[in-house]
Structure 1
């Protein structure tokens, strides 16, 4: 017998080892509930496979089952697992439901705990023993785990049900904090998307729907090529030229993922005076992607180092007049500009965009540099909050992962 490395101080007894099949647990399978059985007017709350494991807690969809013919209904303390997935890792999941009479759809394995084991505790044990679960998985292109497999799942557990409940409740609280932080993050992301639509001028309009401060008047109509010049990324290089040297370049993924270049994620290359060096305030655009919706993703460079180049799968745009860099960072990612760019994508399996065609685009920008600054600062602050929130979520997830490893066996 053993005990975990971290415990609540009031519990001292060693943990026991048993296979799941030795517990008084009934194993059931949910019934097939098709999408046609789901609507907003039904009477029975339902958990439909595919929605269940969005979160680490029990989840009841707002959509309800319109019929209860042949349905399997939950009981408090049931533990739910997926029975199939396209990846083995997708099966190493479990959630405990704390509600009676919820219809459970097919492809859900139900572990009905009757005594000596708390459902929440069991759900977290399954999540903390991913390696053991993967040993029970079968399949090649689609992977499965069955009741007969789970009966052989070996686990360590405390005899004292109160210790099980306390551990389960502890992790439920951590997940509650994570859910709250994820919800806040999502709401702020959605707010940012809305403002990217409202704070920039739409086609056919002379000014945006929402103005910051007391700014008034029409935005100016300009041809993109009239306010800046383009240049090419790296040329004449092969794979041996990368990964070493005293110069750096901005990789494609850095531009694709960030509206402002992440200066900590530049990559090494040898100094080559034949290449175009980037400058503070340059805007980079990706030239190709797998979908039209992802072409010409932009990122503004705000660094000041020498001998920094652009990767060969993007092109640079250097403004000829003073424009606020933060404004441009968000302007070129706004719905307004993206709606202009996407129709220019050409291709079948991979899509490309012509920088010459892009330079012919008509755009509207505020003539008042202070309005540009206000808009840029507005979005910069939102991104700062989003970054802080994401770091907080990551830290919480790492703490949870560490504790799952230390508080279970």
Structure 2
């Protein structure tokens, strides 16, 4: 009896533990089951959305262009920058910014006194140079004449010495002279011939050298004359006139201010036509190329254009480019206006497309809802090209179907949504 009682005491704790474990397992399974049922109910049961909270669009066939976002500024297609052609000072300003000008109309006057003094100095310098050339030419002519006379004298002397040699040889045969006399006469003739050859060589060198000096002086005179002509041209340009019709957009109105050659004096723009200076993130640098079409958005107006220039350098992580508009005289264009620019990188001519909206997150595959008789059905669709207006649907939606473009991602676990009429 005592042994059985001891065994009962030992088994009682073990049985208690087994019962407790069994209870925990049953409770856990129950909780998991309830959660699973709720999840299934949430997935498969319909959810209601008011019709006033959604926007829809009808899928259609049409072109879709893939675009990159950029910004731009409207500037005049033609803007003439007028700079000072000379070193001067602002003497008088005749027109103010905003004034319309005609060709030949004066804009401002410059004080040209310093340049006029420089002009007189260049004239004097050129006159001295030309006088020096004339003196050099006279000296050359005299030296050539003197050298020619010396050469003729040498020729006469050689003829005399040659005759003397012949006479001495005849006398030697007759016994009237010695061999030494003949040798002496021959040496005198040879020396005279060498001296004549040296004189002719010196004459040739002198002609070439002096001719080069004369040519150099003439070239220097030509340079001086060209400098003089350039300054005269600059002085004529210093009469600051408009050379075409337009609007004066800026002028240096600081009377008495000194200006150097090349300093900005005024800006003249043609406000009848415009272009766009665009910019975008350098992450698109490899895609932005000359010749790509662009779309410029001005409020509700879209204008087409083409990239005509891409600046090679990147500044502050921004790529800059120029756009030529197809219609550069559109009435919506205003100077310095900020606009949205969309660079078209690729295009599909015939695609199933829907209007862009918050429902599209930029993913290649995603869920969207298609509305059919008051019920929105979830579809798994493949997205193609996108832009600010359209989204290409490569699969999952057919033309004519009504697609909800409102963001319904909070209901993405629901296969269907009931669209309820809005209470009035």
Q: Give the structure-2-normalised TM-score.
A: 0.22
Q: Which has the larger strand fraction?
A: 2
Query: 1 or 2 for the larger relative contact order (CA 8 Å, sep ≥6)?
Result: 2
The structure with more helix, counted as a fraction of residues: 2
Alignment TM-score, normalising by the size of structure 1: 0.23
Say which one has the larger Rg: 2
